[in-house]
A and B are shown apart, each in its own frame.
Chain A
Amino acid sequence: MHLLPKFDFYEPDSMAEACKVLAETKTEGKIIAGGTDIMVNMKKGLLSPKYLVSLAKIPGVSSIEPITGGIVIGPNLIVAKLIEFDLMRKKFNLLSKAASVLGSPLIRNRATIGGNIVTARPAADLPPPLMAMGARVVLMRKGKERELPLDDFFVGPGQTKIKPTEILVKIIVDDPPPFTGWDYVKLMHRNALEIAIVAVAVRITLDSPDGIIKDARVILSAVAAKAIHAVSAEKILIGEKPTAKLFARAASLASTDCTPITDIRGGAEYRCAMVETLTNRALSAALLQIKSK
């Protein structure tokens, strides 16, 4: 048994109270959501916050609310619900697909979307689809909110723009425009309980069912210090008619957009090659989705 270091535990029942508690802990406090990241790190001795603050009792932190033009997701929503909710499966199935390959059913019943974002693992499963969907995050400190595109949120492994006493309170995702298709492809050693070797999230929007690509996002995961846009791939996609040849070129460019390292899960060269394969597959699947609608 690995013992957890000692800490005090708070479970405030409003966001204002949470902000206050967190502010009082100075930088010695941390939010605990599902605990699937922070507890592992604490057991390994990598982290030992003096205070843990849970948001679980705060109304609305675990909900999905439709709003005009999109949805608002509470940070404490567990990953399993991203798969279970009809709305998610029907309209935001890109996120459902990524959620369904995160960890294991047991992990998905605890792990939260907020935790997955703030923990900022370069291979985390939810940021790539969220970035592909253009998600924004709302952060709160001392009762004040600020909104940030998720694109700008990540800094590096474990590092984000969130301040130590700031809380992620909402994730906003816009409805997909018409003629949009997307896909998330994750390459794993095993078929469950795996952090990605490489993962790619792709979204393309056409201007008409048989038209040209109006908007394209290609997000690469586990091949840089954080999830990144395959900028040159996105560039050549936009304004073109979607063809297998174009996708192949974009995929090949994507593999030049990444800067993977060799680590315990895979080598840099392999990862680059996989970016190409997965990007190509994801683009084809995205197009197929548009065509089959």
Chain B
Amino acid sequence: MKKIITLKVNNKEYEVAVAPNRTLTQVLREDLNLPGTKCGCDMGDCGACTVILDDRPVNSCLVLAVQAHNREITTIEGVADGPNLHPIQQAFVEHGAVQCGFCTPGMVLSAKSLLEKNMDPTEHEIREALSGNLCRCTGYQKIVEAVKSASQTMKK
């Protein structure tokens, strides 16, 4: 049976009727038309589906939409302030941290969560925070550099 739930996504409330067996990834992508959240494995192994759920980055492919009822969700679509990129996004652009871009939404969200808790992370802390987000293209270096540089910008 479908359940009516409320999802607070990127500061906007959505009321949706969802079958309990639908994941948050599916509902974001298919019902709310927010396909910035990617699905790379659907098993929690890659982090492409990362969203921030009540201040914590999680694998949305392993969250039931009904479990997110009444909770705050940030997807990649909610990171920039209108046309103004978030400093992390800006740094990703400038540092060449994006190749195919499939991991990028998840990387940006994991990085955002990190920098909200730790303004001045070490390289190791950055790598640790991104260790649930696989990237096959970049070898991570430019992503790590981007996050480091964003942390410096954000401190100012």
Are A2 and B42 in touch, CB under 8 angstroms? yes
Within the complex, what minimum Cβ distance (angstroms) separates A150 from chain B?
25
Are A104 and B62 in touch, CB under 8 angstroms? no
Report whether over half of chain A's contact residues are helix, strand or loop; otherwise say mixed: loop
Q: Which residues, 89 to 143 on B, are CB-close (under 8 Å) to A?
A: 110, 128-129, 131-134
B144 within 8 A of A: no
A2, B58: Cα distance in complex, Å: 18
- Chain B: which residue is nearest A33 at the CB level? B67
Q: Which residues on the B side are within 8 Å of A80 (C-beta)?
A: 56
A43 within 8 A of B: yes
Q: Which residues on the B side are within 8 Å of A146 (C-beta)?
A: none
CB-CB under 8 A for A35 and B67, given A1-B42, A8-B1, A110-B62: yes
A8, B64: Cα distance in complex, Å: 12
A193, B59: Cα distance in complex, Å: 13
Q: Which residues on the B side are within 8 Å of A268 (C-beta)?
A: none
When each residue 1-28 of chain A gets 1 if its CB lies under 8 Å from chain B and 0 otherwise, what string results? Answer: 1111111110100000000000000000
Are A1 and B39 in touch, CB under 8 angstroms? yes
A162 within 8 A of B: no
Which of B8-16, B43-51, B75-83, B146-154 is the interface stretch? B43-51
A32, B68: Cα distance in complex, Å: 13
Within the complex, what minimum Cβ distance (angstroms) separates B1 from chain A?
6
Are B44 and A40 in touch, CB under 8 angstroms? yes
- Chain B: which residue is nearest A6 at the CB level? B21
A266 within 8 A of B: no
Are B58 and A109 in touch, CB under 8 angstroms? yes
Q: Which residues on the A side are within 8 Å of B19 (C-beta)?
A: 6
Please give 12 more A-B residue pairs, beta carbons under 8 A apart, in addition to A9-B20, A106-B57, A107-B132. A1-B39, A6-B19, A7-B20, A7-B21, A36-B44, A40-B62, A52-B64, A104-B47, A105-B57, A106-B44, A106-B110, A109-B57
Could you pull out 14 A-B pairs where Cβ atoms are within 8 angstroms? Answer: A4-B21, A7-B20, A32-B64, A35-B62, A36-B44, A39-B23, A39-B44, A39-B64, A43-B42, A105-B57, A106-B47, A106-B133, A109-B53, A109-B56
Residues of A within 8 A of B (CB): 1-9, 11, 32, 34-36, 39-40, 43-44, 52, 54, 56, 80, 103-107, 109-110, 191-193
Q: Which 7 pairs from chain A and chain B are nearest by CB?
A: A104-B132, A192-B131, A9-B20, A106-B132, A4-B21, A109-B56, A106-B59
